[in-house]
Structure 1
């Protein structure tokens, strides 16, 4: 895992992600990068990335297909991302088995059934925001973007309120890429302890929630239709991390984009674009996850430019760089535009292929509901800090702002 001269070292604090993504694209469809000491192929060309994400010779199982796995587990701050036992890291038939068991929790029926819950939670948060003294800035990331997905995922998993707050800090650290190996390891220990508490609580008192459903499918013998305890625990970790941090960033980025581009907000208000358009263009322009570790070549994979990803080498899906690739979205790829014409706001923010995010419909439901109701309640809202001065979270993966200060200025009463 030593640095080599031709390798681009990715900034762990992601201080200037746009410049870094441009540098990646300038190096061709795939470029060798250093991600916190691990060498990988960053793929920023959307056509190549789609091909690799659907290639049966590209795996997510580090234990089987990454020779550097044992070293990474002991020295890499992002070890948990490659060491978990869930559908996130599964390959082939194992992935199909685990995904088949989790998929019912995100069925169209269950997501539709959550609509009233999401609307109620949004209304409660907006009522809380409405109590802010007139003209006083409020941090919408802290007061709106954070609590909504936490409350939704807590409802979905049967997570007690006290544990929700514990999970917030622990999941934030899971996405942070400025922690030491020791800090990341300590965070993992605490995270797993809280997960075990949740499992035990739901085992004693089961309910109509996803945790209880997964516990019912647990079997240490590892039958093909059941989960081992480790798979149960790591599947819950996946659901919490994927269902929380990403939606926080989606809401944060959408509100920041609309308030800094009033002409785009006007498109929605005047019927030229929908809230669905807002969500999809935000996902394209500022995806919630910039880079997602890792995949591995099961065999040598030739690239269009003559390079070869050799068997056992790691692959980094660089979604943010791919989403704004000029070969996909032309010269205006860097522009936030709700009226974007063909191919429209197509993106890879939820992944692609067999690992496409199961929670995408729920994230879209949360975001469209939250944005529609927020701008209806606070039509005169404005950023309290210029968008270019909003600090970014220090993470190669998580794509959001440290805070989102906004003056709400509710509409005057009729």
Structure 2
């Protein structure tokens, strides 16, 4: 890495470091950022605080999985393209393997106990998304103007629930940020970051991102085949700002609305993804394994996974050579703030539909989900315990 004295790392060293995180990083995307800082700033000293802060800002600014983009950047800076690939694979494969296995077993969850397990996982989604919404609203909507953007975004999405409206809301959030959020601070990091490639390569990567975004829909169809799967997951990965739980409504629109995956399969898999470490976007592999393309579950899962992550990685790698020129822009800071506020509204709308409407069937379900929310928001336990609580609370009445 140019601009500092820290040496590059071997692909094996990068893979080992990220595999450890991929096996142990429970708690979702926000928690992952803390794990990364502890591992690479405090323990290994691969980055200093300023460099980590800049990479974090880039990852939050761009659409895609923020924690995975941050890991990809760290791998890219420390080991080049091979290092970036090793970081992605090591951090992602453990969760992918677990979710693909769960998808294979989902057909056996058809009896009373199996149905109760699936329903319990849907209640996990209620608790986890509610906690994520609370945390994001505190951090991303600290004033009345941003809360107004969030409320307006949620209202629009509840009335007009389409993927096009989601994109429009994100764009309107950015415009509202420029117009209304004057005074928002930008990132003033002192230590520069640089990569082994220049702005020309960055421009090519950004061009590829837009080319795939506009070209894939021309060749995709409503039928579930590999090309339509690639288009649906690439679109979701390209349009989701905030990563993590925010991808839920985009994926739901892509795979449930088209009846590739049932609502129960979708929400139970989302609940199961809370019980495992690693990136939440690995949920795409679970969905891919269930989509009947005729090409096989593993191949479809691989296509869904690759095209879910690809747009975020193309963008973040493309932007890195240009970062020093735009990092101090107050306009960019206001756009980010407005988009983040709109993302809070998007997640709030998703909490009601499809999560609440599909998961809560009565007061008992509401009580179970509220206790799960309390475990996360008040007692700050691991999401794994929330999964155990919601599943057991749903299964025990069936067994009695």
Q: When the two structures are superposed, what TM-score results if normalisation uses the length of structure 1?
A: 0.26
Instruction: Identify which of structures 1 and 2 has the higher relative contact order when contacts are C-alpha pairs closer than 8 Å and 6+ apart.
Output: 2
Greater helix fraction, Structure 1 or Structure 2: 2
Greater strand fraction, Structure 1 or Structure 2: 1
